[in-house]
Amino acid sequence: MAYDRGTGKLPGSGRPGTPRGTAAGRRAGVRAALAVLPLLFFGAFFAYPVAAIVTRGLHQGGRWRFGRFADVLGDAGIRHVLWFTCWQAAASTALTLLVALPGAYAFARLDFPGRRLLRAIVTVPFVLPTVVAGSAFLALLGRGGFTDSLFGLRLDTSAWAILIAHVFFNYAVVVRTVGGVWAQLDPAQEEAARMLGAGRFAAWRRVTLPAIAPSVAAAALMVFLFTFTSFGTIQILGGPRYSTLEVEIYRQTAEVFDLPTAAVLTLLQFAAVLAILALHAWTVRRRESALRLVDPALTAHRPRGAAERTLLGGVLAVIGVLIVLPLGVLVTRSFDTPGGYGLAFYRALGSTDGGTFSVAPWQTLWNSLRFAAVATVIALTVGGLAATVLVRRAGRLVRGFDALLMLPLGTSAVTIGFGFLIALDRAPLDLRDSWLLVPLAQALVGAPFVVRVMLPVLRAVDERLREAAAVLGASPWRVWREVELPLVSRAVAIAAGFAFAVSLGEFGATVFIARPDDPTLPVAVARLLGRAGPLNYGQAMALSTVLMVVCAASLLLLEALRTNGSGEL
Amino acid sequence: MRTTPRRAVGALVLATAAATVLAACGSDSDKGKDAAGTGSSGGGSKTVTLVSHDSFAASKSVLAQFTKETGYTVKVLRGGDAGAAVNQAILTKDHPRGDVFFGVDNTLLSRALDNGLFTRYTAKDLAQVPADVQLDAAKHRVTPIDSGDVCVNYDRAYFTSHHLAPPQTFADLVKPAYKNLLVTENVSTSSPGLAFLLGSAATYGDAGWQGYWKQLKSNGVEVVDSWEQAYNDRFSGSSAGKQAKGDRPLVVSYASSPPAEVVGVTPEPARSPVGVSTGTCFRQIEFAGLLHGAKNTAGGQALIDFMLSRTFQQDMPLQMYVDPVRQDAVEPPVFVKYGAKIAHPTTLAPGKIAAERDSWVGAWNSIVLK
């Protein structure tokens, strides 16, 4: 079938009696229309606020102060921060892929009891406030911890602690992003290659690897962005000797109040993120291929043979030590009251006597759920539309749009929070006093996940299916509903799960948006931890445990919603 | 193939509907607040907006009493720690978010005043406040509300079991007996960390404090980034630190930490597990001010007056773990019984802090962290 992939124009795809040119024009028009909402969203809630705060820093006294670039870049301390930021992110990403890819395989292809629950649990560190998770992590792997008393292995205040904690936090990104695609690959393709004489490894390299490569690259990119902009982990586990660009931006904005330096650092971080994205685009452009997506339930099997059992055992051991045990420490602490083990801290969550809040702490859970639900809907809408636009192969402009959508992940929370405050204060965008500000900020971080998770799957949908439907006279809406949606419903569920989890756990931007007093759960945990006394600390642990359980439960629920339909795929 | 899209669409619709309902709840309750807050009495707003940091807290009943006395309802906006909150207020000073700002302390006061954040207001009960905490007495742009002392805290159990007297002064901390015992905070990212540095500078002077820190460093002081880590993870005397297997019996914290360790513990212990080294304290004073360009000036003035009233002042200790500035305010029994009274805290003038802070932080970094 000869058609031009560049524009997606298919000869004869217009309706009978409609000139071809008009049909192509209409499709371009539809694409443009779909792009409007995401563009408006990112323009109003990202580009504009960030531009406002950066301009405030660099445009002072009526003229631009670009000389600040030379000052900041000339500072040896800043250059050291840049170097450390880059290498720790690269090392963290490599280590995370190394540790989590076997996990992605095990969750995708091996059927074992408790698989779903475990997949939900490994996502929990991703949403926990860093200071809580970091503390639990230290108790296990730091001084006097489990590994210290057993093997004399201490992982506090060293670069290793940072790297391993980054694996702990980002394990789920790889397992869910790569595993999502892996689970839907048809194993028959690899088997066919082997029957045709390819060795086990050659078959994997030629068939499976190209198919999962885009999602591995997407996962690596997200892990890199998260570790590149790491804040809490560096502070808790690295100590004051280690600093990332993100920590430096926070310090310059919130403590030193040197907005020009903060603006320069923000632009540096942008440049770095864009460079990463360019590299990413360059590596994956040629690897995308149409995949045969099948029902994940059909691809998973009970572990067979010694190799698979060893692999599963190894994956479970890593998860056990690295993720489940630290989370267990946290749960234990929430019951460990001064009067012995009990529910005192949980009971205190219902009272307003503690003084930290004008509402009972448990009500912050309701705030969080409410905000996260709204943020998820916004992120799915914006990210879904954006992914739909991006999937059609198109020119440079659209690829630029792709990069734009990723920028919020590489932007400091304090920059976004302060930007909101000074930019969204006049009509028609007078949102400073609106509750909507929090879900908007959260959706900004959730939407890139939606795009990243959906794009590889959308691109994998065989173009011919769409075209066949169109040839048969289906409207674009109908093609989307009847052809694409069923194929991507799993990706939608995963994307929704990510967006929801990110929103539940989002702390940075939320804390910098001064707002009418309805703290989210992570903000409440931070407030409780900021006070002395066993009751405050215990409540923080109890509240974190609640967050953990709610997160795991919502992810399980999302997966259950998804499986109802996919059995008939 | 038929039912799949419908179910998927169904789930999506369900989620959207749920979110819309949730969103509606949110906006309804906001509207409710507005309706209650915005009365129609002569056009003046019945809501007064307080902008503060994340540590601000007041009892519901106390805020209700303010409404009962004045007719104004308080809306609280909080954003980040004290430094971030002050910076936000400066960024939005041409279009302020509220009427009153609370939470600028003596270490940040000059930054706020130099930026013209506040307008004059002389609070009603100012006579009840000692002169030494009225740092803007000439112009009355800010009103002192509370004070708190940043001091070294010690783990009583550790010093008892080691038959060692706990350190009491800055000079004690560099003695060999206390080697490797102290954990403090990074002065760049933590306000108690900065206060401790300022305390040492006030004690040893411009010329001497760097030498003091060199001694502290060779005596094994540990530095972490935040108070939370120092107190909850590293300090062996707090209940959280015990759980986290903290091994440092000395920590830079607050004079109010000992009573906090007792609140909620049953039965009440005879004394707090945490003690205060009373000769190591630096006094922080927190101020409130009427924001320049406030929409509800009258309401803001009433709120500042109320924050100096005995009702509010006596509520503060258990809400924010700070001391009232009002002389006739009665402290809660738990503070009287377990708290430490600091007779001679160190302090520095806000102008001096503003002038020296950056160079001191830089020097501290190269002495202690490098």
Contact status of B68 with chain A (Cβ, < 8 Å): no
Task: Give the span between the Cα atoms of A166 and A157, in whole angstroms.
Answer: 14
> Measured between alpha carbons, how far is A364 from B60 in angstroms, rounded to an integer?
16
> What is the C-alpha end-to-end distance of chain A, expressed in Å?
26
At residue A544, φ and ψ (nearest 5 deg) are -65, -40
Nearest in space to B281 (alpha carbons), one of B311, B317, B299, B254: B254
Higher pLDDT, A420 or B31: A420
The burial class, CB within 10 Å (0-12 / 13-18 / 19+), for A105 is buried
Interface A-B: count of C-beta contacts within 8 A: 229
Q: Establish if A152 touches chain B: CB-CB under 8 angstroms.
A: no
Instruction: Mean pLDDT check: name the lowest of A12-21, B280-289, B355-364.
Output: A12-21
pLDDT in tens, A279-305: 777 766 655 555 667 777 777 888 888
| Residue B159 DSSP SS3 | helix
State whether B228 and A529 contact (CB < 8 Å).
Answer: yes
Mutation target for B interface from A131, A255, A421: give the one with most B CBs within 10 A.
Answer: A255
* pTM for the model: 0.86
The mean pLDDT value for A171-185 works out to 88
Q: Which of A434, A449, A428, A427 is nearest to A382 (CA)?
A: A449
Distances (CA, A) of A208 to A191, A203, B302: 11, 7, 70
> Coil, strand, or helix at residue A151?
helix
Q: Using one digit for the tens of pLDDT, what is the confidence trace for B93-133?
A: 999 999 999 999 999 999 999 999 999 999 999 999 999 99
Which chain A residues are within 8 Å of B56, Cβ to Cβ?
none
- Flag whether pLDDT at A355 surpasses 60: no
Three-state DSSP state, B276: strand
| Interface touch B239/A56, C-beta < 8 Å | no
Per-range mean pLDDT, top range of A151-165, A293-307, A365-379, A459-473: A365-379
Which of A130-144, A255-269, A342-356, A468-482 tops mean pLDDT?
Answer: A255-269
Radius of gyration of chain B (CA): 24
Quick: pLDDT tens for A110-169: 999 999 899 889 988 887 878 788 878 877 777 777 777 777 777 766 788 889 899 999
How far is A437 from B279, CA to CA, in rounded Å?
46
pLDDT confidence bin for A3, thresholds 50/70/90: very low
Whether the predicted pLDDT of B140 surpasses 60: yes
What whole-number distance in Å separates Cα of residue A152 and Cα of residue B211?
36
What would you report as the CA-atom Rg of chain A, rounded to the nearest whole angstrom?
A: 24
Of the residues B54, B152, B224, the best mutation for testing chain A's interface (the one with the most A CB atoms within 10 Å of its CB) is B54
Closest Cβ–Cβ partner in B78, B95, B189 for A255 = B189
Q: To the nearest whole number, what is the mean pLDDT of chain A?
A: 82
Tell me the pLDDT tens digit for each residue of B169-219: 999 999 999 999 999 999 988 999 999 999 999 999 998 999 999 999 999
Give per-residue burial for A300-339: e unless 16+ CB within 10 Å, then b.
beebeeeebeebbeebbebbeebbebbbebbbebbbbbbe
**Orientation angle between helical segments A437-460 and A20-42, nearest 10 degrees:** 140
Which residue of chain A has the CA closest to B93? A422
CB contact under 8 Å between A532 and B358, yes or no, is no
Q: How far is B163 from chain A (nearest CA, A)?
A: 24
Q: With beta carbons under 8 A apart, name residues in chain B contacting A239.
A: 223-225
Core vs surface per residue A48-86: b (16+ CB within 10 A) or e: ebbebbbbbbbeeeeeeeeebeeebeeeeebeebbebbb
Closest partner CB to A358 (pick from B18, B60, B233): B60
User: What is the residue-averaged pLDDT of chain B?
Assistant: 88
Distance CA B350, CA A363 (A): 39
Dihedral sign computed on CA atoms, order A147, A152, A155, A156: positive
- Chain B residues whose CB is inside 8 A of the A422 CB are 91-92
- Among A69-83, A134-148, A221-235, A431-445, the minimum mean pLDDT is found in A134-148
Q: Quick check: B256 contacting A, CB < 8 Å?
A: yes
> Nearest residue on chain B to A354, judged by CA atoms?
B319
> Least CA distance to A486: which residue of chain B?
B5
Nearest CA in chain B to A373: B19
pLDDT digits (tens, 9 = 90+) for B343-363: 999 999 999 999 999 999 999
- Min mean pLDDT across A247-251, A399-403, B235-239, B257-261 is at A399-403
> CA distances (Å), A226 to each of A88, A128, A173, A238, B206, in order?
11, 14, 10, 16, 42
Q: Which DSSP category does B97 fall into?
A: S
Contact map slice: A 330-359 vs B, CB within 8 A: 333, 336, 338-339, 344, 348, 352, 354-358
Residues 312-331 of B with CB under 8 A from A: 318-321
pLDDT of residue A9: 30
A71 to chain B, any CB pair closer than 8 A? The answer is no
Nearest chain B residue to A255 by CA distance is B83
B239 vs A251, A338, A492: nearest CB: A338
How near does any CA of chain B get to the CA of A435, in Å? 7
B window 286-315, beta carbon within 8 A of A: none
- CA distances A307 to A194, A201, A310, Å, are 18, 14, 5
Distance from C-alpha of A436 to C-alpha of A421, rounded to nearest angstrom: 13
Higher-pLDDT residue of A47 and A428 is A47
Classify strands B100-105 and B274-291 as parallel, antiparallel or unpaired: antiparallel
A510 in reach of chain B (CB within 8 A): no
The CA distance from A484 to A477, in Å, is 10
Q: Which of B105, B229, B321 to mutate to test the interface with A (most CBs of A within 10 A)?
A: B229
- The amino acid sitting at A315 is V
What six digits make up the tokens of A509? 């931007």
> B244 CB near a chain A CB, below 8 Å?
yes
